[in-house]
Structure 1
Amino acid sequence: MNEARPPPPEQEAVPTGWLLRIGGAALATLAAACVVAWGLWVAWRPASENPPPKTLGAWEVGRVNQAPFTLDGRADALRAEQRARLAGYGWVDADAGIIHQPIDVAIQQLLSEAGAEGAR
């Protein structure tokens, strides 16, 4: 029973020094590239990238020209114009004979016409 055993496999030696040198060189190259990229970004960015902040109440906020809400009266003027149109008389189409009138008057007119037709 004398069997021949194969020799044990050789353990592979990992070249630790070589791997550390390659890894260190890669990290150093990456760090140098980051420093160069940051330097170029600082050198070439425009000076107007970050303008100084505007004062409160200014008409221009950031890069958008806008009025403060308390000073803007366009909504009130539009609402007054719409209410005047709803409460008054006027022509919609003069050629076709179409007018606009207040809603209360129109309702009363329709009710009186319906009452007159119903009485017939």
Structure 2
Amino acid sequence: MKDTKFSIAIHILSMIALSPHPINSVEIAKSVGTNPSYIRKIMSLLKDHKIIENHRGKTGIQLLVDPAQLDLLTIYKIVEEDDPHIFQVHQNANAECPVGRNIVNAVFPFLDDAEKIPHNY
């Protein structure tokens, strides 16, 4: 099975953008259905590319980029090492979390169309 870093990165960014309060990797991990260390691994990739910032010992992760300016291909290239391919959705999203409950229906129907577009980059 393919790694799901891409779908988890979208989940992370969605939670940061939509949260009315500062959130941390533990809260995000509960929504995604994985452990906080895996969330921090993906967040590290996003941080290296100046998409988010967080500070050790401080609660809260901030977006450094306007969500409207982020595109899926940019996120994909940050977390994956190869060209776009069939996207896998993480399996254990928390149904009690608003993002966890809706992430698949909100984002992933569009990916079927995106995969059919030839990419010349």
TM-score by length of 1: 0.17
Greater Rg, structure 1 or structure 2?
Answer: 1
Higher relative contact order (CA 8 A, sep 6+): 2
